[in-house]
Structure 1
Amino acid sequence: MEAVFTVLGLGLVVFGLYDVFRGLLYPSGRGTISYWVLRVVWRLSRGTGHRWGSFSGPLGVVLVIVLWGMLQAFGWALVYYPHIPEGFYYAEGMNPDNYDDFAEALYISLVTLGTLGFGDVVPTGAWLRFVSPVEALIGFALLTATLSWFTQIYPALARRRALAVRLRALQAVGYADRVPFLERAGASRTLDQLTTDVVDVHVALVQNAESYYFREIKEDAALAVSLPYAMEIAARAEDAPAEEVRLSGAMLSSAVADFGQLLREEFHGAGENTEEVLGAYATDHGYPAAPAWRSERPRD
């Protein structure tokens, strides 16, 4: 039975580490646990009309981290379990007969994983003395990795919000209707900057897929609401007399379409064209899909 528990325990440990690798370290990768936990939490939030506001994203991330930690804790507990209590030294005043063997194994695993080092239970078995430091190193690495995860998510959210605010500002001045009549160098420069911003958000979402599940409370900062206006700008740029502006508009349209394809294939899976995909994006985030972003000013 010792071999069975050891193999099962190490299997959980390896699976957990692989999931962390896929979720945090592998470019454009997704861990199985992070993928399903975030999707389930998001669907529950969406089912309540996103009453949780922006709470679903952070909650999903915390649950993923907890599950990663529990996989390691239970995995190593199974490794220790066959060696309780004879493989460990108990401090004076502690009687191992007073504790359930598996609960004790889990306690030792949690203390080791958390690098707490209480010293009340110390491994004495020849190979257990080498296994425990390995678990401690994994625990330290897991803590560092999860902290790094947060530092990756929030810059991606900041880029997304910045693009949303920028589009809102352009909408406020009716930029889409003005772009065909603007000086070509300035218009092209603005369109190119929007294209760069969309591409940056696209890349950030590929590398940090979990950022999709962070919903903005304020509509003004929601890219799901403002992004269709970028398509309106690109469409109006086609009417510009300068080829340079028309080319920049086509590049912006292509960038938004590529981003929409990512949304459809990896997240909500709805829409036959870019406009429908962006509408589904807004709906998925709890905002109306109606094209409220379109300018009400008559076209010249």
Structure 2
Amino acid sequence: MDVLLTVAGISLAVLGLIDMFHSLLHPSGKGYLSHLVLSGVWRASRATGHRLGSAVGPAAMVAVILLWVALQTIGWALIYYPHIPGGFMYSPGVNPADYPDIAEAIYVSLVTLATLGFGDVVATDPWVRLASPLQGLTGFALLTAALTWFTQVYPPLSRRRSLALELKGLADINYAKTLGEVDHAVATRILDTLTAQLEKVRIDFTQYTESYYFQEEDPDLSLARQLPYALALREAAAASPSKDLQLSARRISVALEQLAKKLGEDFVPKDENPEDVFAAYANDHGQGTQG
């Protein structure tokens, strides 16, 4: 029984570490458990009409971090449990008989994970003494990972908002309808800039999947709201007699198709038509499509 508990504890702790690795360090940017939590919180928010607003993304990330903490706490508690209380020395005034063994194991695990070092319970079992510093390192890594995760999500959000504002500005002046009347070199440069921004957003959705679950309350900053106008720009450029504009139209078309493919694979119902994918993206974020 002790061996089974130890194996189960190691499995839970390793499962949490693997999920952290895939969420923060792997190029896919998506851990299996973290993705389930993020998408679950998002579905709950969408069912309530996104009443949490822009708080849903941070709330989902906090839920994932709490899951990682729980996996490490419970996993290491199962490792310590067979050694409670005989494998530990207690400070005067602390009677281990006053506490259930499982509660004591969880307490030791939490204190070690948080690297608090109260000193009221000290491991004496050789194997526990060897293992407990590893949990302390895990706790330090978990804290660092949580801070890093929150820091790294905001640059992708800034790039997405910047693209949304750019599209909104072009839509406000009805740039698609006047595309054939402006200087073609300027129009080509604008379309190529949009193409580069679209490609960066697609990479962000790949490497920072958690960024999808940040809902914008301001429609001007919502890429889900403004993205369809890029399709109008593409159509206007493709209809232009200018070869340069037609080439830019093909480039932005590829970027839009690749972005739609990424959204369809990971976030919204898959469809071969970018227009339908972007409409689903807008609906998922509680945004009407741009007229």
TM-score by length of 2: 0.97
Partner amino acid, structure 1, of 2:55: F
Aligned CA-pair RMSD: 1.1
More deviation in 161-170 or 181-190?
A: 181-190
The equivalent of 1:219 in structure 2 is 219
CA shift for structure 1 position 288: 2.1
CA distance in 1, matches of 2:228, 2:122: 61
Partner amino acid, structure 2, of 1:259: L
More deviation in 10-19 or 239-248?
A: 239-248
The equivalent of 1:255 in structure 2 is 255
The equivalent of 2:70 in structure 1 is 70
The equivalent of 2:83 in structure 1 is 83
Cα deviation code 1:153-207 (max 9, x no counterpart):
1111111101001111111111111211221211111110000000001101100
Paired residues of 1:89 and 1:121 also in contact (CA < 8 A): yes
Cα deviation code 1:259-288 (max 9, x no counterpart):
011111211114441111111111111112
Paired residues of 2:261 and 2:270 also in contact (CA < 8 A): no
Paired residues of 2:84 and 2:105 also in contact (CA < 8 A): yes
Partner amino acid, structure 2, of 1:57: G
Map 1:151-300 to 2 at 5 A.
Answer: 151-289=151-289, 292-293=290-291
Cα deviation code 1:62-121 (max 9, x no counterpart):
011001011000000000001111111111111111111110010000000001111111
Secondary structure of the 2:153 match is helix
The equivalent of 1:296 in structure 2 is none
Paired residues of 1:195 and 1:251 also in contact (CA < 8 A): yes
Partner amino acid, structure 2, of 1:283: N
CA distance in 1, matches of 2:262, 2:186: 30
Partner amino acid, structure 1, of 2:214: F
Partner amino acid, structure 2, of 1:95: N
CA distance in 2, matches of 1:208, 1:76: 29
Correspondence 1:54 to 2:54: yes
Partner amino acid, structure 2, of 1:53: G
Paired residues of 1:167 and 1:230 also in contact (CA < 8 A): yes
CA distance in 2, matches of 1:229, 1:288: 12
Moved over 3 A (4+): none
CA distance in 1, matches of 2:203, 2:94: 55
Task: State the percentage of identical aligned residues.
Answer: 50
CA distance in 2, matches of 1:75, 1:56: 28
The equivalent of 2:25 in structure 1 is 25
Q: Which runs of 5+ in 1 are unaligned?
A: 294-300
CA distance in 2, matches of 1:78, 1:48: 38
CA distance in 1, matches of 2:207, 2:180: 35
Paired residues of 2:6 and 2:78 also in contact (CA < 8 A): yes
TM-score by length of 1: 0.94
The equivalent of 2:100 in structure 1 is 100
Cα deviation code 1:194-237 (max 9, x no counterpart):
00000001101100111111100111100001011011011101
Secondary structure of the 1:89 match is strand
Q: Which runs of 5+ in 2 are unaligned?
A: none
More deviation in 268-277 or 158-167?
A: 268-277
Correspondence 1:2 to 2:2: yes
CA distance in 2, matches of 1:96, 1:23: 39
CA distance in 2, matches of 1:247, 1:180: 14
CA distance in 2, matches of 1:278, 1:11: 40
Partner amino acid, structure 1, of 2:5: F
Paired residues of 2:263 and 2:281 also in contact (CA < 8 A): yes
Secondary structure of the 1:174 match is coil
CA distance in 2, matches of 1:131, 1:35: 30
Partner amino acid, structure 2, of 1:216: E
CA distance in 2, matches of 1:239, 1:140: 57
The equivalent of 1:132 in structure 2 is 132
Secondary structure of the 2:122 match is strand
